Chain A
């Protein structure tokens, strides 16, 4: 499903350049739930950005669902992001003047769906995260956990192949974090492929596989026995 070979990325800093990713090899199969761990500066966010097509690699191959991702125009990248990927961010990144339903419907708007269809689908996904009663509320009227649920509903709305979560529980307290993780596990059980960047061991332990990065290379890549989040809620 996701195939990465010898991925390199460096950033220019003044005259010198900083080599952030030094040849990453990673393959993720359908239905996996992978935690990408590492200290800050290890390159984990850069890796996620490249996977999310928000950034482009300098060298190496990246194949997503049998489509080679290379030399994308901005327009093409926008289409692929919309079709293949769902993003979940640490700070939720909801649009503050749109209510929950409108936020969830936004990726569908960029898919070119009709308004009626958009709202129907958005309602379906809001119901899935258990927030249908909150559909007309603005993000400022929701709690952190509810905001992240809306964000997850939005990420799911376009029915992506891959969910990318960048520190999804970073801004939440422990109980809420586990609540969100329980939900992500449930999605994974249903077959969604999920990639989570985190630096929290307990969150990583709730995935099925942990990839540890240090200084731009993969230090460790192991399958783990998943800790079910429900047990901690």
Chain B
């Protein structure tokens, strides 16, 4: 029901009582402004955290080896632990239920050249799963696959910056890149959100690297992601269990910190997620609290308005206004004031965030934006708040008896 007359009545009433309407809207403006600023800041903090981990999968576990620092079971300290393919297989089969992707890694530094262009790069020899672990985005050609692994093909996937450095304007797919004297066929080009360093890399099949560099089955590092279904506690338990078993496998003391190192993202993420959710709850509580204060404020002023307009409402009733029309006039007036005031607050809040963004950046608050969904939900909340604030006064108004209102005192 859109009744233009009703709206005319409401806007006339608001307009004729500007100070009063302004005052009652102020609390809501302030509440929403505060809420928007707080919400934006929390969002900014969240953005900072998630950006720190955007490079790699959030559910990753990295396993590295080193030298033992403690004598254990007759073994001396200072022994070097070397992972091999069999260790990779062991983890892969024993923890098959918990693992999503798994890869080994070998690091090498290579001097690469194509035609006249030369440069030094880091090389990673990996399993095909590595693509998902590192969130590598192949935008040209393809990544390493199982066939490359089986046949030990001499192929390479090159980073976007490697392509720019060496290939200039030439399409690198199918061309041969010379890596420390051996030609490899380029099968793909990738980009990575991790930044320039991650795009100045080359990938090749693990099996190929093992044959060419040393003809052994050594691996430098094993990376894996656990199944996303695992919650934080399960993931942490999984990581601890893995560490314990690997230490036993290599006869390393459980308290040895350097021989086998399992770095579990879940440990870090748990803390951050807990912190951000607590922060979110805190902001919601503060925001809702302020909003409720705003609603109570509007409601109070609306009650006062109804009191002040008792006579007018009495006149309207004597002239034939139904209780329903009185209720809708008060509630809609309340909704209009709340919504306009709220939007003004939202605008102010966003403006403050925009203005303060350069300052906030130094405090690890990045992109403190307020999303569209927030604006939509804020609108719904504001309309709800207006109805809530207007309801009691409107009921009061509808109960006004014209004879009482019109009595001449």
Contact = CB atoms under 8 A, between A and B. Distances in A.
B147 interface: no
Contact of B318 (A79, A81, A90, A97): A81
Interface in B284-319: 311-312, 314-319
B16 interface: yes
A107 B321 CA distance: 8
Interface residues of A, number: 29
B75 interface: no
A87 interface: yes
A154 B315 CA distance: 11
Interface in B350-409: 398, 401-403, 406, 408
Interface stretch (A14-22, A108-116, A176-184, A203-211): A108-116
A66 interface: no
A188 interface: no
B323 A78 contact: yes
Interface string A38-56: 0000000000010010110
B322 A98 contact: no
A110 B12 contact: no
Contacts of A82: 319-320
A97 B16 contact: yes
Interface string A96-132: 0110001000110111000100000000000000000
Given A54-B402, A115-B5, A75 B322 contact: yes
B277 interface: no
Contact of B17 (A97, A106, A107): A97
A95 interface: yes
Interface of B: 4-5, 8-9, 12-13, 16-17, 311-312, 314-325, 398, 401-403, 406, 408
18 contacts: A52-B318, A54-B406, A78-B317, A78-B320, A78-B321, A79-B320, A81-B317, A93-B311, A93-B318, A94-B315, A95-B315, A95-B316, A97-B13, A97-B16, A97-B17, A110-B320, A110-B325, A158-B320
Given A97-B17, A106-B316, 9 more contacts: A74-B398, A75-B323, A78-B323, A82-B320, A83-B320, A87-B318, A89-B406, A97-B13, A110-B325
